[in-house]
Amino acid sequence: MSTEIEAYIAQSIPHESGHILVGRILGIPVSKLKHEVLDETTQIRTGNFATAGLAPMRDPLVLRTTPPDVIHAYKLYVGGGLAGNLVSGIAATEHGLAPDRYDLSFVTDATLEEVAESSRVVIAKRMDIFEELQAAFKDSYQKLIKNGQLPVGTYTLLTSKQLEEICPQNKAKFPAAFYEFE
């Protein structure tokens, strides 16, 4: 595996673990962690890692009628990725942060860095879970790639059941206008 791919994986582990932890603790339904293989080559080529959870529809009316505490939880969930990188001391690439900046722009004028500081507090209170999520992510990914070549496709690294065992999902009432995103 190339150094570039190893660096991408290293920064993705705390990033996605941060999203998962913050989302599940604050009541944003998070259903799984996925990995997409983008193309077939003679070497393993990573694609996107994605935490699948709920997000508000990007409709101004929906956003205006969503309870403020739900919007606040969603903001911290989005900021949880960068917060995971900050807590772990592993810098995130702009490639990894750009989707979070985009998602955050629909619900606040605050920067990702500002929101991540609040998200970092949530992670710091549950470092045990954060570490366990990272270990499960790494273990699942290592099992996935152990045989070398992977066909193009999407692979589930951590299921809802696995996430529930590590970090139970807190419940929150979400408007019907929320949808699953990655």
According to the model, what pLDDT value does residue 179 have? 62
The answer on pLDDT for 43 being more than 80 is no
Give 154's strand partners.
Answer: 36
| CB 1 within 8 Å of CB 44 | yes
* Strands of 49-56's sheet in order across: 153-158, 30-37, 49-56, 178-181
pLDDT in tens, 145-157: 887 777 788 899 9
DSSP type of residue 177 = T
| d(C-alpha 118, C-alpha 76), whole Å | 7
Map residue 2 onto helix, strand or coil.
coil
In this prediction, what percent of the chain has a pLDDT beyond 70?
88
Fold for the domain defined by 3-181: Methane Monooxygenase Hydroxylase; Chain G, domain 1 (1.20.58)
The whole model's pTM is what? 0.91
Q: For the chain, where are the alpha helices, taking DSSP H only?
A: 3-26, 60-65, 68-88, 94-105, 112-125, 127-145, 160-166
CB contact at 8 A, 93 and 11: yes
105, 78 in Cβ contact below 8 A? no
| 3-class secondary-structure state, position 146 | coil
Q: What's the pLDDT band for 5 if we cut at 50, 70, 90? A: confident
CA–CA separation, 16 and 175 (whole Å): 24
Average pLDDT of the segment spanning 153-163: 94
Which pair of tokens denotes residue 54?
């709920």
Quickly tell me which residue has 């009628």 as its tokens.
65
Is pLDDT at 44 greater than 60 in this prediction?
no
Domain segments of the chain: what residues?
3-181
For residue 47, what pLDDT band results from cuts at 50, 70 and 90?
low
In contact, 158 and 144? CB cutoff 8 Å:
no
The mean pLDDT of the chain is 88
